[in-house]
Amino acid sequence: MRAVCVIGLGLIGGSVLRAAARSGRQAWGATTSETDASAAVADGFTVASTEDALAKAVAEDALVVVAVPLPAVPDVLRVVGAVAPSCLLTDVVSVKEPVVDAVARFAPGVRYAGGHPMSGRSESGWAGGDAELFDGAPWVVASEDDTPLDAWLAAASLALDCGAHVVPASAGEHDAAVARISHLPHILAAVLASTGADGGPLALSLAAGSFTDGTRVAGTRPELVLAMCEGNRTALLDAVDDALGRLGAARGALASTGGLAATVRGGHDARGALVALREARVRGCDELRIGVTGEEAMDELRALGAGGGRVIRLEGDVAVACLPDD
């Protein structure tokens, strides 16, 4: 099993280090946070400086995992470019196109396949992490036409060893999807909470399940939400424009005919599609085998992800995938 070098030992990086070790891999890390470093060492993990950790990655032909917040990515990639210029590289940053750009600029010689595990919790730092954090969760592995096959296999293999399922998508597809299902929900929750609170204590004292559920993620720490949403600005603008168009259409229909059927029935069907996809996944799925070997591999993988499928294991360079039946 390939060794793993994790740069950044916060909630996600710390969980990757633990989960990689749990799978039997040799794993070590680096962090600029003294708190996270001492906590990881106290838990029995090896923590070095970024330079030393990367030098060891070169010596061991390890997979390097960048697990720092987006604003810190360029600095880390500069060191990668200097110390480990042709390493196998992935990352776990929640937005993908800006990382692709940064890799091209600061570490153009690495063999890179980006990643994004769709797991989170409200805690942060090493102390909030957990080897089980990714069990059963989707983990996007970026699949571009020019993604090196060895980098893709290395990133996918780590995700699977961490207990996740691999969802292949291009960086752009990933950013567009998470704008809609992860970032927009935070914006709408904030809008709903503010509009409700403007009704004063009377409105809040009458609030029941629909308002409570609809505003829950507005309770997330603002710094986390801002980092996530502002980092995905272009794709989020598209999603917000789409939502504005739909809300404006609802407004127009309510004002003119008084009817909200298109809005409400459309939303009901869409929620039904979410529930149906999850139920199909529970019922089982059709197994597909995709060789990660030739020019068509990334195309096939992206088609799998676009159809709601996931890679559930690797057999050598064959990705065994699960596509929910209709």
Beta strands in the chain (DSSP E): 4-7, 27-30, 46-48, 63-66, 88-91, 111-112, 115-117, 138-142, 165-169, 285-291, 310-315, 318-324
Q: Which of residues 71-100 bind its own copies (CB under 8 A)?
A: none
Task: Check residue 282 for interaction with its own copies (CB under 8 A).
Answer: no
Task: Check residue 186 for interaction with its own copies (CB under 8 A).
Answer: yes
Report, in Å, the least distance between residue 326 CB and its own copies: 10
Q: Which is nearer to its own copies, 34 or 325 (CB)?
A: 325
SS3 percent helix, strand, coil of the chain, rounded to 5, is 55, 15, 25
Instruction: Candidates 158, 188, 297, 321: give the one binding its own copies (CB under 8 A).
Output: 188
Q: Which of residues 201-260 bind its own copies (CB under 8 A)?
A: 201-222, 225-226, 229-230, 233, 236-237, 239-244, 246-248, 250-251, 254-255, 258-260
Task: Check residue 136 for interaction with its own copies (CB under 8 A).
Answer: no
For the beta sheet containing 285-291, the strands, ordered from the edge strand earlier in sequence to the opposite edge, are 115-117, 138-142, 165-169, 310-315, 318-324, 285-291
Q: Which is nearer to its own copies, 85 or 267 (CB)?
A: 267
Task: Check residue 105 for interaction with its own copies (CB under 8 A).
Answer: no
Number of residues that bind its own copies (CB under 8 A): 98
d(CA 307, CA 137): 17
> At CA 279, angle to CA 273 and CA 283, rounded to 5?
140
Please, are residues 29 and 50 in contact by the beta-carbon 8 Å criterion? no
Q: Site mask, its own copies, residues 150-169, x = CB under 8 A?
A: -----------------x-x
Report, in Å, the least distance between residue 11 CB and its own copies: 15
Task: Check residue 123 for interaction with its own copies (CB under 8 A).
Answer: no
Report, in Å, the least distance between residue 249 CB and its own copies: 9
Q: Segment contacting its own copies (CB under 8 A): 20-28, 123-131, 267-275, 285-293?
A: 267-275
Q: Which is nearer to its own copies, 40 or 193 (CB)?
A: 193
Pairing mode of beta strands 115-117, 165-169: unpaired
Q: Which residues sit opposite 320 in a β-bridge?
A: 289, 313
Q: Which of residues 283-312 bind its own copies (CB under 8 A)?
A: 305-310
Task: Check residue 189 for interaction with its own copies (CB under 8 A).
Answer: yes
